[in-house]
C-alpha cells in the first residue's frame, strides 16, 4: 500500500482490510501514467478536472495537492477548473474552486 501520509482515513482503512485490492489499484494508476507521454503536472490537472466533474471533494483536494507538488501554479490549478464551466456548469465549478482554494491556502 502507498505511504500513509496525507491519505484519507477511508483509503487507509480499505488498504488495511483489502491490501491486495489497493495494491492493484495503485498499480493500475502507475500503469495508466506510464502508458503515455503526459508529464505528472498535466496528468494531475486532468485528474483534478475529472474529480471536479464528479463532485468528489476528497479527490479534488488530493489532485490539487499532487498538482502543486508536480509544479503546477495555483493559477494553473484554478484555470483547469474554470475551463470546465461550459461542460459541468457554474455551480459545480464554484464548489470545486472552493475546495481548490482551501487546498492552496493550506499548502
- What's the CATH code of the domain at 71? 1.20.1290.10
**85 and 44, same structural domain?**
yes
Q: What is the DSSP letter of 70?
A: T
Give me the domain span that covers residue 79. 38-106
Q: What is the spatial distance between Cα 86 and Cα 72, in angstroms, rounded to a whole number? A: 23
Total tally of structural domains belonging to the chain: 2
Phi, psi of 78 (to 5 degrees): -65, -40
**42 and 85, same structural domain?**
yes
**9 and 43, same structural domain?**
no
**42 and 4, same structural domain?**
no
pLDDT above 50: residue 4: no
**42 and 12, same structural domain?**
no
pTM, rounded to two decimals? 0.88
Q: What is the spatial distance between Cα 49 and Cα 54, in angstroms, rounded to a whole number? A: 9
**45 and 80, same structural domain?**
yes
pLDDT digits (tens, 9 = 90+) for 43-91: 999 999 999 999 999 999 999 999 999 999 999 999 999 999 999 999 9
Amino acid at each position: 500500500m502507498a505511504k500513509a501520509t496525507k491519505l484519507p482515513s477511508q483509503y487507509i482503512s480499505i488498504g488495511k482490510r483489502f491490501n491486495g485490492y489497493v495494491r492493484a489499484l495503485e498499480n493500475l494508476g502507475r500503469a495508466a501514467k506510464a502508458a503515455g507521454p503526459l508529464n505528472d503536472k498535466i496528468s494531475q490537472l486532468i485528474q483534478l478536472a475529472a474529480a471536479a466533474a464528479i463532485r468528489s471533494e476528497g479527490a479534488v483536494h488530493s489532485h490539487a495537492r499532487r498538482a502543486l507538488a508536480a509544479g503546477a501554479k495555483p493559477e494553473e490549478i484554478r484555470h483547469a477548473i474554470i475551463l470546465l464551466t461550459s461542460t459541468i456548469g457554474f455551480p459545480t465549478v464554484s464548489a470545486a474552486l472552493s475546495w481548490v482554494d482551501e487546498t492552496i491556502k493550506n499548502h
